[in-house]
A and B are shown apart, each in its own frame.
Chain A
Amino acid sequence: QLQLQESGPGLVTPSETLSLTCTVSGGSISSSDYYWGWVRQPPGEGLEWIGTIYYSGSTYYNPSLKSRVTISVDTSKSQFSLKLSSVTAADTAVYYCARHAADGSGSYHWFDPWGQGTLVTVSS
């Protein structure tokens, strides 16, 4: 059974870079059938897609975050990572990693399964 687990600091100082890693177990991160994504949720608010990476390294980012986001993959460690630079209090959120899939035509996408999420607080 595929499982994902986020890890990283729970507290980040404003203007610094948020760094998280997602470790994939129970399946191959190098599968050509799937992508790997990050989604966040500010406290009491809704979900926001951050970005997605393919095992080859191709990336797709939310246009609203693109200038600050970098997602990378390390297939040897079955991990993919998120870096978000110049953070502010508005970046305080629960960050989820998830396997991202799509049908052949791209008519629909889905995230399944999800990691349990990790709360990152931006504060001095």
Chain B
Amino acid sequence: SSELTQDPAVSVALGQTVRITCQGDSLRSYYATWYQQKPGQAPVLVIYGENNRPSGIPDRFSGSISGNTASLTITGAQAEDEADYYCNSRDSSTNHLVFGGGTKLTVL
């Protein structure tokens, strides 16, 4: 399958933990990569590989995978985490790259 499915919107109370998910058959073979995008800005890499964070990304961001579902977890969400989050992976049938539709995270 060439699809990665994300919930369109998720909300979390300030300081609480939220999980953003990404489903797709290709995730049984390949890891997901996660990007954060704030309005009017370019995407920023937050998680890649099994659970790697680039320099400068807070350790409250973590990634995991189970079966065909990858998750981005924010432990202790902050107001500045309010953004769109996109997953990305390699399509297992074509070996090309696909993005999920994105999840809009609201921090209440």
B96 & A60 in contact (Cβ 8 Å cutoff) = yes
Q: Min CB distance, B30 to chain A, in Å?
A: 6
Contact A46 B100 (CB under 8 A): yes
User: Which residues of A are in contact with B by a Cβ distance under 8 Å?
Assistant: 39, 46-49, 52, 60-63, 96, 103, 106-117
CB distance from B9 to the nearest CB of A (A): 13
Question: Which secondary structure dominates where chain A touches chain B?
Answer: strand
Chain B interface (Cβ within 8 Å of chain A)?
A: 29-33, 35, 42-45, 48-49, 54, 86, 88-90, 94-102
Task: Provide the bound-state CA to CA distance between A117 and B41, in Å.
Answer: 8
What residues on B are CB-neighbors of A39 within 8 Å? 43, 99
Q: Is the Cβ of A62 less than 8 Å from the Cβ of B96?
A: yes
Give the contacting residue for B43; candidates A47, A48, A108, A109; CB below 8 A: A47
Best-surrounded residue of B29, B35, B89 (most CB of chain A within 10 A): B35
Contact between chains at A47 and B49 (CB < 8 Å)? no
Report chain A residues within 8 Å CB of B44. 112, 114
- Asked if A108 and B99 make an inter-chain contact with CB atoms under 8 angstroms apart, the answer reads no
Determine if A109 and B90 form an interchain contact, defined as CB atoms under 8 angstroms apart. yes
Q: Please give the distance in Å from A112's CB to the nearest CB on chain B.
A: 4
Provide the residues of chain A in CB contact with B32, threshold 8 Å: 108
Partner of A63 from the list B43, B49, B96, B101 (CB cut-off 8 Å) is B96
Q: In whole angstroms, what is the CA distance A16 to B102 when docked? A: 30
Chain B nearest CB: distance from A97 CB in Å? 10
Given the contacts A108-B49, A114-B44, A47 and B30 also touching, CB distance less than 8 Å: no
Chain B minimum-CB-distance residue to A102: B90
Q: Which residues of A contact B95 (CB under 8 A)?
A: 106
Nearest opposing residue in chain A for B91, CB measure: A63
Interchain CB contact under 8 A, A46 and B102: yes
- How far apart are the CA atoms of A117 and B43 in the complex, in Å? 10
Compute how far the CA of A113 lies from the CA of B35 in the bound complex, rounded to whole angstroms: 11
